[in-house]
Amino acid sequence: MGKILDGKAFANELGQNLKEKVKKLKEEGITPHFCVINIGDDPASKIYVRTKKRRAEKMGIIQDIYQMPADTKQEEVLALIDKLNADPEINGLMVQLPAPEQIDADALLKRIDPNKDVDALTPANIGQLWMENHFVEPATAEGIIALLKHYQITLAGKRVVVIGRSNIVGKPVAALMLEENATVTVCHLYTKNLAEITRQADIVVSATGQAFLVNADMVKDGAVVVDVGMNHVNGKLVGDVDFDNVKEKASYITPVPGGVGPLTVQFLMEAVVKLTRRQNGRE
């Protein structure tokens, strides 16, 4: 039976260290301050934003939420981004995705100052990621790598299969795994014979948002399984992985909830503090 990769406990451990860093910055008159722009009424987005705010408060970080109506025009959001980019008191900035149909999310991300990009989703920071010259990383991907290292799971030389190719999770995870000298295969909607590919993997990372996609037949004995999915089934939060059955074959496995999710929020806070320190000459 697989050992649980406890992301919640690890996030809390990291949180204690980050609180001390923030405390020292405050003693120097510096308070990390970041802003979240949320457009529309997507229920999941509102939950994420509130979760981030609670975590920020625990860390001693100031978080402002700019809640904009669902019919907000592109130009209004761009103007707000320009304003926050120019404000020296703001250390970090992010746009909560998804955005309403009339909004070009890529254009918004391009407008964010890369030096304030806590999500690491601007073209400049994505380019730095693939060049292995990055200062900040997308939070979920960074959290996954940190969690595996925390449990002393070797990545070099391992065969890693990432299911999902989003800019937020799948592609950044692949980039960071390559940086750790893993051999990486990225699978997606058009991948044929998915189970044949995943059965060869030492580490499987699923980030599709498709409940119970990964079953026990798709995982070899002793594999490490990382579940990034968040799906609601019959009022219950579940992942992409059939946890109860897959855990019997895996050597390590993340639960949902309590696995990757808490680390995503924590590493967002880590990015805010890193950017704040750099902006104040304290790298």
Report the distance separating Cα 277 and Cα 274, nearest Å: 5
- Taking the CA of residue 166 as centre, how many other CA atoms within 13 Å lie in the half-sphere pointing to its CB? 16
Our CA dihedral for 39, 116, 17, 280, rounded to 10 degrees, sits at -140
Which residues participate in catalysis according to the annotation? 52, 96, 119
Per-residue tokens: 73: 């025009």
Write down the pLDDT at residue 42: 86
DSSP alpha helix (H) spans, the chain: 7-27, 43-59, 74-86, 105-111, 123-130, 139-150, 170-179, 194-198, 243-246, 260-279
Write down the pLDDT at residue 282: 86
Write down the pLDDT at residue 15: 98
**Is residue 227 within 8 Å of 104, Cβ to Cβ?**
no
Report the distance separating Cα 232 and Cα 213, nearest Å: 14
- Angle (CA) 119-121-123 rounded to 5° is 150
Ordered DSSP codes for 54-69: HHHHHHT-EEEEEEE-
Q: Is 167 exposed, middle or buried (0-12, 13-18, 19+ CB in 10 A)?
A: middle
Write down the pLDDT at residue 89: 97
Report the distance separating Cα 244 and Cα 281, nearest Å: 48
**Is residue 252 within 8 Å of 68, Cβ to Cβ?**
no
What is the fold of 139-261? Answer: Rossmann fold (3.40.50)
Report the distance separating Cα 36 and Cα 22, nearest Å: 19
B/e letters for 40-62, b = 16+ CB within 10 Å, e = fewer, are bebeebeebbeebbebbebbbbb
The model carries a pTM of 0.96
Whether the domain at 29-113 and the domain at 139-261 fall into the same CATH topology = yes
Q: Tally helices (H) and strands (E) across the chain.
A: 10, 11
Pairing state between β 236-238 and 159-163: unpaired
Give residue limits of the domains in the chain.
Answer: 29-113, 139-261
Enumerate residue ranges in the chain where pLDDT < 70.
none
Write down the pLDDT at residue 40: 95
| Of 200, 201, 247, 204, residue with least CA distance to 227 | 204
CATH of domain 29-113: 3.40.50.10860
End-to-end CA distance of the chain: 42
- Which residue is it, tokens 């799948």? 170
